[in-house]
Structure 1
């Protein structure tokens, strides 16, 4: 009976020491994990930056497309004799000129 008690005590101490070692390892590596997570949250990866840039370009292209359609309609109304449409067309064209440098030109493939 006493031998069984000794075996149980030895087995539990080995198991307990493993738990303590794991806990000590977790405590020791916690600051590194926290710092790593903070750096990850604070920085932007290249792929995230590329996605953001692509999204901004698409939004500019969409806005430019809407302005182009608006400009064409205003030009048609201007041709029909609407002076206000002529003024609006000039403003729309000016806004298009501001947006155009931010929209990349697709290379022509032959």
Structure 2
């Protein structure tokens, strides 16, 4: 039994949404460095909370666009979009905070 492409996109979006949320909540870049140094030495805690939500949003919209109303993967895609947009908002605020801290 193989999954439809929309289900794969929705599942990928949900996994990326959860990972991005974990990065936003679980990682904290060093405060002693400037933005350039933090970006060089710690790229995952700095850019991960912005890049992963963008991927979750792209895959979520792709999964949502390709599914029929009422399909199981539609709920996954919607959940991924909510997680992605929230993680992107918190990640962007944190990125601005890191850039203006020094």
Band the TM-score falls in, shorter-chain normalisation: 0.3 to 0.5
Q: Which has the larger radius of gyration?
A: 1
Larger fraction in helix = 1
TM-score (norm 2): 0.44
Q: Which has the bigger relative contact order, CA under 8 A and spacing at least 6?
A: 2
TM-score (norm 1): 0.41
